[in-house]
Amino acid sequence: MRRPFVAANWKMHKTVQEAVAYARDFAPRVEAVRNVDIVIAPPFLALPALVEATANSRVLVAAQNVHTAPHGAFTGEVSLGMLQGSGVTLVIIGHSERRQLFGETDAGVNTKTRATIDAGLTPIVCVGETLEEREADRTFDVLDRQVRDGLAGLSAGQVAALVVAYEPVWAIGTGRNATPDQADEAHRHIRQQLASQFGDAAAACRVIYGGSVKPGNVAELSARPDVDGALVGGASLDPASFAEIVASSRPATV
Ligand code: 13P
């Protein structure tokens, strides 16, 4: 059985004070939700305050990025040791915005994923095709390459414990989510690729969907057998909305 996994990616939103106020509002709303991993990824600056504000709740805290060097002359970067020291337990890696706006590559995703696992944190590895790639019928090729190269060299056990987020770029922030059929098809394909690389670990690895997830569409999406939860941008910025999304997500495999 795969435990549903629902994560908020706040991107570059919320001050430290706003993050703490959100946590105080949100945590009680999901107190009664069982058997779902609930994660919030705020900007770096809010990480320690959010860890503290969610300490006695069911909410886990993720970073949106990481640098793999332990320390050094890397202006503007944050290391895994710094995240660990702040109580962060997960890291989003290879988000399409990082790939498109900051030049991240599959090789870089692989380096970050391996380092994150070595540090004892859980990677949330993002994959997904652009509209141009989908229209050129290259979706599966792109997903295969991102999964193959992004997870190269990992053991089956490591893959079983991480999370893959399928986020079609054309669905991010557009209000146009993938249909349940489109998501299901892509998730099944990703799981096949995982199985070809890692065998039985594919059945344990959670593959979550991201791209215009809202309270009104999450139940239908996560009812599909290969959709194990959601990675939510805009609709996670309001605590009531994100709590509704958490409550509406359903176990993919029971
Ligand atoms: P939206 O939910 O705003 O489309 O963003 C999705 C996303 O990129 C989450 O990582």
Q: Model's pTM, two decimal places?
A: 0.97
User: What is the per-residue pLDDT for 251?
Assistant: 53
Would you state the pLDDT for residue 34?
A: 86
3-state helix, strand, coil in the chain (%, to 5): 45, 15, 40
Average pLDDT (105-134) is 98
Q: What is the pLDDT of residue 141?
A: 98
**Helix or strand (DSSP H, E) at 80:** helix 80-85
- CB-ligand 1 contact for 216 (6 Å cutoff): no
The per-residue pLDDT of the chain, averaged, comes to: 96
Q: Residue for token digits 């557009």?
A: 174
What gap in Å lies between CA 103 and CA 38, rounded to an integer? 29
- The 8-class DSSP code of residue 67 comes to B
41 lines ligand 1 (CB under 6 A): no
Q: What is the CATH number of domain 5-248?
A: 3.20.20.70
Two tokens, residue 243: 């709590």
Beta strands in the chain (DSSP E): 5-9, 37-41, 59-63, 90-93, 122-127, 163-166, 206-210, 229-232
- Mean pLDDT value of segment 109-136: 98
CA atoms within 13 A on the CB side of 142: 21
Share of the chain above pLDDT 90, in %: 96
Over residues 232-245, the mean pLDDT reads 98
With cut-offs at 50, 70 and 90, classify the pLDDT of residue 252: very low
Judged by DSSP in three states, 178 sits in: coil
The answer, yes or no, to whether residue 254 has pLDDT greater than 60, is no
212 Cβ inside 6 Å of ligand 1: yes
Instruction: Choose which residue among 213, 217, 221, 245 to substitute to test ligand 1 binding: the one with the highest number of ligand atoms within 8 A of its C-beta.
Output: 213
Q: At 152, is the pLDDT very low, low, confident or very high (cuts 50, 70, 90)?
A: very high
Give the per-residue pLDDT at 250.
65
Instruction: Work out the percent of the chain whose per-residue pLDDT is above 70.
Output: 98
Residue 1: per-residue pLDDT: 81
Q: Domain boundaries in the chain?
A: 5-248
Choose the catalytic residue: 104, 167, 187, 189. Answer: 167
